[in-house]
Copies of this chain bind each other. A is one copy, B any other.
Amino acid sequence: MSRVRGTSAGGGEDPDPRDVREPWSRPDVATLTPDRMMAYIRARCPWAAAHTHRTLAPYLLEESAELMAAILEDERVGSAGGSATADAVEAELADVLYQVVFHAALLDERREAEPGDTWSSLQQRLVDKYVRRHPHVFESSSPVPIADVQRRYQDVKAAERAEGSAAREPSAEVHAEAADEALRILSDIRETMASRNRQD
């Protein structure tokens, strides 16, 4: 028996986000996960549909600057801010996360994968990498001094490099070019913020 797919409440699965036959079905927004929400947005929003990794990249820098602002404010206000400045940090983290989920949706499409596959695989990749880089956490039975931690971390990184990886690493030139581009974008963001400042 095939599983019933529909918009019925209570256990019915949401329809395929990529199905844009009209009239559009309405997913149950109460149970949407970030990756599935993103797949609907990508399929149905012309602004989102036009984005590429490259056109999206500046937004991550903007959100990183916004997060920095929330952190500086949180630090300045300290405990006098109660939970409000911590909430502001969380709000900015959500915006950073949106960028990650957005890029992941683009990778799903390129790979002709199911919506959410890249979101899952990058979480698994994260866990695999950082567990591997923390043997002093996951393979030790007691605390390791910080000097040893740093040495072990470098050892694991060297071993990873020796093993190689399926991913193609950009050259040092591309890294420098990317840093220049990021600086240019951030300068523009800074100008926008400064002019907003003058209007206040």
Q: Does the CB pair A168–B88 fall under 8 Å?
A: yes
Q: Are A176 and B149 in contact (CB under 8 A)?
A: no
| B103-A93 in contact (CB<8A) | yes
* Interface-central residue, A93, A141, A150, A190, by most chain B CB under 10 Å: A93
8 Å CB contact of A190 from B47, B170, B176, B190: B176
A86 to chain B: which residues have CB within 8 Å?
A: 107, 110-111
Nearest Cβ on chain B to A189's Cβ, whole angstroms: 6
Q: How far is the CB of A117 from chain B (nearest CB, A)?
A: 11
- Report how many residues on chain A are interfacial, defined by Cβ distance under 8 Å: 114
Rounded to whole angstroms, the CA-CA distance of A146 and B51 in the bound complex is 13
Write out, one digit per residue, whether chain A residues 57-99 have a CB within 8 A of any chain B CB (1) or not (0).
1001100111111111111110001011111111101111111
Question: Would you call A200 an interface residue if the criterion is a C-beta within 8 Å of the partner chain's C-beta atoms?
Answer: yes
The answer to whether A10 has its CB under 8 Å from any CB of chain B is no
A59 to B14, CA, bound (A): 37
Residue pairs across A and B with Cβ atoms less than 8 A apart, 6 shown, are A29-B138, A34-B126, A65-B178, A66-B178, A93-B100, A98-B126
Instruction: Enumerate chain A interface residues (CB-CB to B < 8 A).
Output: 20, 22-24, 26-27, 29, 32-34, 37-38, 40-41, 44-47, 53-54, 57, 60-61, 64-77, 81, 83-91, 93-101, 103-104, 107, 110-111, 118, 121-123, 125-127, 129-131, 134, 136-146, 149-150, 153, 165-183, 186-187, 189-190, 193-194, 196-197, 200
